[in-house]
Amino acid sequence: MTDMITIALSKGRLAEQAIDLLEAAGYDCSAAREKSRRLILEDEKAGLRFIMAKPADVPTYVEYGAADIGVVGKDTLLEEGRQLYEVIDLGFGACRMCVCGPAALKGKLDQIPNKRVASKYPHITRSYFEGTKRESVEIIKLNGSVELAPLIGLAEVIVDIVESGQTLRENGLDVLEVIADISARVVVNRVSMKMKAQTIMPMLDAIRAELAKRNEPKEEVSSL
């Protein structure tokens, strides 16, 4: 008997890339391709059920076992801090989690006492400043357009993901410190990994094989 596997995808580009990958790995994802507003897309024959969730909710679905597998950015994983198996780095959706601020602050970050830091990622911010830098800061939680904060004096610096750095530059900001490299990850519920191992392990192997195939021609770029 093969088990029905529920996969939680982060709505948007990440979901599409994940579906492409799964299909290339030999899984029928036509259910997930359906253009509709439905949030649960099921293909009983393929034994797959897809749920389209807000990225920040994917780790939650997987931790609670509502989904067996999830595809989600490392940024969300770091922020949510859930008890999951984080099994594969998919490589796509690559960016960096950074401390950013006015270019003038470059190299001088440690000289500002009692910093105010604005971010969509309060947990990552806290663990970076308190854990890694051993420094207490005031964290201001924002929900978007975080770049505004240092421009209008709400905060000295921000913690945010940086892809190309375009938005930063246009607003006269720069990367001051890099906290972590981010990319999409496959996560698995801890119980599903045991109870549905016969279905999940081959799926993970197929994904790894497909990734290896994609990376073959070019040399592997060593990360930071």
Read off φ and ψ for residue 64, nearest 5 degrees.
-80, -5
* Residue 4 interacting with another protein (CB under 8 A): no
* Residue 92 interacting with another protein (CB under 8 A): no
Neighbours of 40 (CB within 10 A): 10
* Residue 194 interacting with another protein (CB under 8 A): yes
* Residue 46 interacting with another protein (CB under 8 A): no
Of 2, 26, 54, 65, the one binding another protein (CB under 8 A) is 65
Decide whether 99 or 188 has the Cβ nearer to another protein: 188
Decide whether 87 or 175 has the Cβ nearer to another protein: 87
Q: Is 111 helix (H, G, I), strand (E, B) or coil?
A: helix
* Residue 125 interacting with another protein (CB under 8 A): no
* Residue 24 interacting with another protein (CB under 8 A): no
* Residue 188 interacting with another protein (CB under 8 A): yes
Q: Are 121 and 160 in contact (CB under 8 A)?
A: yes
Decide whether 46 or 195 has the Cβ nearer to another protein: 195
**Per-residue buried b or exposed e for 167-206, using 16+ beta carbons within 10 Å of the residue's own CB:** ebeeeebbbbbebeebbbbbbbbeebbeebeebbeebbeb
Of 23, 86, 135, 174, the one binding another protein (CB under 8 A) is 86
Q: Are 48 and 27 in contact (CB under 8 A)?
A: yes
* Residue 195 interacting with another protein (CB under 8 A): yes
Of 10, 76, 119, 189, the one binding another protein (CB under 8 A) is 189
Check residue 165 and give left, alpha or beta (phi > 0: left; psi -120 to 50: alpha): left
Token digits of residue 107: 């190299």
Q: How far is the CB of 61 from another protein (least distance, A)?
A: 9
Q: Are 19 and 62 in contact (CB under 8 A)?
A: no
Number of residues that bind another protein (CB under 8 A): 21
* Residue 182 interacting with another protein (CB under 8 A): no
Nearest CA-CA partner of 115 in 170, 145, 153: 153
Decide whether 109 or 195 has the Cβ nearer to another protein: 195
Q: Which residues of the chain form contacts with another protein (CB under 8 A)?
A: 60, 63-66, 84-89, 188-195, 197, 223
